[in-house]
Amino acid sequence: MGNRLVGIDFGHDVVRGVEVEEPGTRKSRVLRTGSVPLPPEAVVSGEVRDPQAVASALRQLWSKSGFKAKRVVLGMGNSRVLARDLTVGVRPLARIRESLRFQVADMLPMPLENAVLDYYPVRYGADDHGVPVYHGLLIATLKDVVLTNEKAARLAGLEVVGVDVIPFALVRALADRASNDTWAFVDVGATTTSISIATAGVPEFVRIVPSGGEDVTRSLMELGQLPREQAEQIKRSVGLISEGVDPKYRPVVELMVTRSSELMTSIRDTLAYFSDTRQRRVAHVLLTGGGARLGGFPQMVTAWTRIPATLDASSAESEFTVAAALTTGVSSAKERKAGQSMPAPAAPAADPAPADAPPPTGSPGGAPLSKAQAKAQAKARAKAQAAFAAAERGRAKANGAESKKASIWTRPIGGKR
Return the DSSP state at 241: -
**pLDDT mean across residues, the chain:** 80
CB 165 within 8 A of CB 76: yes
Name the pLDDT band for 10 (thresholds 50, 70, 90).
very high
CA angle (11, 258, 288) in 5-degree steps = 35
CB 274 within 8 A of CB 183: no
Question: Parallel, antiparallel, or unpaired: how do β-strands 29-37 and 43-44 relate?
Answer: unpaired
Evaluate if residue 50 carries a pLDDT over 90. yes
Instruction: Output the CATH code of domain 205-311.
Output: 3.30.420.40
Question: Which residue from 237, 131, 201, 178 is spatially nearest to 348, judged by alpha carbons?
Answer: 201
Return the SS3 of 319: helix
**Could you read off the pLDDT of 366-408 as tens digits, one per residue?**
344 556 655 665 665 565 555 545 544 544 444 444 333 333 3
Return the DSSP state at 329: G
Q: Which residues, listed in sequence order, are joined to residue 87 by a DSSP beta bridge?
A: 135
Amino acid 43: pLDDT: 93
Cα–Cα dist 292/380, whole Å: 46
Cα–Cα dist 8/58, whole Å: 9
Contacts of 22 (CB under 8 A, 6+ apart): 3, 28, 29, 332
**What is the residue extent of each domain of the chain?**
82-141+349-405, 205-311
Cα–Cα dist 166/194, whole Å: 8
pTM strictly above 0.85? no
Name the pLDDT band for 62 (thresholds 50, 70, 90).
very high
pLDDT average, residue stretch 152-171: 93
